Structure 1
Amino acid sequence: MAALCRGAARLTLPICQIRQGLYRGYSAGSSFQYILVERKGQSQNVGFIQLNRPKALNALCDGLINELNQALDSFESDPQVGAIVITGSEKAFAAGADIKEMQNRTFQDCYGGSFLAHWNRVSSARKPVIAAVNGFALGGGCELAMMCDIIYAGEKAQFGQPEILLGTIPGAGGTQRLTRAVGKSLAMEMVLTGDRISAQEAKQAGLVSKIYPADKVVEEAISCGEKIARNSKLIVSMAKESVNGAFELSLAEGNKLEKRLFYSTFATEDRKEGMTAFVEKRKANFTDQ
C-alpha cells in the first residue's frame, strides 16, 4: 500500500522563524521529516499540520504518527491556538497505514507492545481538530480523519476501510468510529467488502459535514478553525467534552454530564463576559478564564 518511511525531505527551521510562530513550543533545531507545521489564520490562532509523504500518498508510518503527536502536544500547550487543522495533499489525505512496517509483525509484537496504541492521540486532544480531506482517506487515513472532531471533504475525496482485502481488520478505531458515524449497515458493508464511498456518499451518511472544491477545502477548514478560536477556549473544551460524551454514555448519563459542564461554565469569567456582552449588545471579549 505504501513504502517505508524514508526519503522525505527533512525540514529544520532557524530560531527566528520559531519565534515568529512556526513550530511554536519547540526548541531551536526542532525538525520534522514527515509533516509540515505552522500557525494559520489572520490572528495566527489555528494550528496547521500537513502530512508530507507525497511519494507514499501520505501513508502513516510510525515516524509520521510520532511527529503528528509531537505537533499536537505543542499546539495543545500554545495558549494562542484555539483549533487545529490536519490535512494531506490534493491527491491523498492518507492512503492508509504503512503496510511494509506491519508485514512481518507477529501477534506477540502487536499484543505485547500495544501496537497502534499511540495512534489515538488525535482523539484525546482537548482543542477541536478539523480534518481537511482531499483524495484518498483509506484504512488508517480514514481512521485518522474520524479521530478528528469535524471532517471537511473535497469533491473527489474517497473514504474506505480496505483492511479486509489484506487479510486483517481495522486496528485504529475503524470498526468503532465508522459504525457510530454512518450506522451499522453501511459500516458493515464497507468493512466486509473493502469498498470505498465518495465524498457525497460520506456526507449523506453523516461521516463528513461539508464538501468543497478540492482547492478550497483547506481554506474553509482554517476558516472554521478561526471561527472556533474566537470563542472561549475553556468553554469550547467543555462543549467538545459534552458532545463526545454522547458517543460514550447512555442518554441519561450524557444529560447528566452536559448539566455538570453547563453548571461549570458559571464558574468562569468567560460565561459572565459572554452573557454581559449579549445584554449590552457588544462583542464579547473572552480571556479563556
Structure 2
Amino acid sequence: MSEQVLVEARDGVLEVTINRPEAKNAMTKEAAEAIAAAMDRLDADGDLRCAILTGAGGTFCSGMDLKGFLKGEYPVAGNRGFGGLTTWTPKKPVIAAVDGFALAGGMELAMACDMIVASKGTKFGIPEVKRGLAAGGGGMVILPRLLPRTLAMEMAITGDPISAERAHELGLVNVLTDGPAIEGARELAARVAGNGPLAVIASKGVVRDSWLWADEDVNAKQSPYIAGVFTSEDAREGAMAFAEKRKPQWKGR
C-alpha cells in the first residue's frame, strides 16, 4: 500500500486521495500505480458502486513530478496512462473532486474521470508549453471535445488556465461548490450509488464509447452493453419497487 495515495470505502463509494500535499500532489509513478490498483479494487468489489478521485491539502494535482521526470521517471501505470487513468477507464463511474489546481496532467486526470465537481476558485489548465512540453496525456485531444475548439486551442498554446466558474458555465464541471469539492462529490456519488449497478455500468459504457459511433451503427453497437440489463434480476426489482412504492434492493445481477 502506497502512502502517496489514500484509499477508503464509504457507503459503497471508494474515495481515492492523492496524498502528496507538500508537492501539490504532483504525480509520480508510485502514485499512478496506486491509483490504478484502486480502480481495480473498484471494479472487483461488488459492494462498491463508484469512486471519487481527489487530492489532499487543497490541491487536486499539479501535473507530472518534474523532479522525477528529470531522473527519467514517467508517472504512468503500464498501459493505463498518466495517473493510471488517462488511457483506460474502469467499468464503474469515477468522479473527480477538484480543489485548488488541476494543471497539466492533473487536468488530464480530471478529464479522464466521468464527472467533475470543483470548488469555486479552482483553476484548470494545460500549461505544458510554458515548460517546453506538450499535453501528451490526452489534453490536446480531449479538451477540444469538451470545450469550444477555439478555447481549447487558446489553453493549449498559451498555457493559461480557466476558472472553475467558467468551466462550469461551459459544461466541463458538473457541480460547483462553495466549500471543499469532496462534499459535492459525495452527494453526487450517493445519487449514482442509489441506482441499479448493472444499469449504471452499461450507461457509462455507452456514453463513453459511443462518441464516434456512426448513426447507422448505434443500435447494433449499443445492444451488447444493455441486453443483460433488461433481463437482470435488478430490472425486475426496480419495476417491483416502483409499483410497491419502496426503495429498490439491488443485487447487481
1:195 to 139, 160, 179: 160
Contact 1:161–1:174, Cα closer than 8 Å, also in 2: yes
Q: Which residue number in structure 2 is paired with residue 230 of structure 1?
A: 194
Q: Which residue number in structure 1 is paired with residue 204 of structure 2?
A: 240
Contact 1:242–1:254, Cα closer than 8 Å, also in 2: no
Counterpart amino acid of 1:38? E
Deviation at 1:118, TM superposition (A): 2.8
Paired residues in the alignment total: 249
Q: What per-residue deviation string (whole Å, max 9, x for no partner) do you get for residues 164-222 of structure 1?
A: 1111211111111111111311111100110100001111222111100133x202211
Superposition RMSD in Å? 2.1
Question: Which entry has the higher C-alpha Rg, 1 or 2?
Answer: 1
Q: Secondary structure at the match of 2:176?
A: strand
Deviation at 1:255, TM superposition (A): 4.6
> Where does 1:51-70 land on structure 2 (aligned, <5 Å)?
51-70=18-37
Listed as ranges, the gaps of 5+ residues in structure 1 are 1-30
Contact 2:64–2:105, Cα closer than 8 Å, also in 1: yes
CA distance in 2, matches of 1:116, 1:262: 30
Q: Secondary structure at the match of 1:94?
A: coil
> Where does 1:142-161 land on structure 2 (aligned, <5 Å)?
142-161=107-126
TM-score by length of 2: 0.90
> Where does 1:155-174 land on structure 2 (aligned, <5 Å)?
155-174=120-139
Counterpart amino acid of 1:230? G
Contact 2:33–2:77, Cα closer than 8 Å, also in 1: no
Listed as ranges, the gaps of 5+ residues in structure 2 are none
Deviation at 1:90, TM superposition (A): 5.1
Deviation at 1:116, TM superposition (A): 7.2
Q: Which residue number in structure 1 is paired with residue 46 of structure 2?
A: 79
Q: Secondary structure at the match of 2:81?
A: helix
- What is the percent sequence identity of the aligned residues? 34
CA distance in 2, matches of 1:254, 1:208: 27
2:149 to 169, 184, 204: 184
CA distance in 1, matches of 2:55, 2:71: 27
CA distance in 2, matches of 1:103, 1:116: 19
Counterpart amino acid of 1:219? E
Q: What per-residue deviation string (whole Å, max 9, x for no partner) do you get for residues 249-284 of structure 1?
A: 234334543355344322211112212322333322
Distance 1:229 1:74, change over 3 A: same
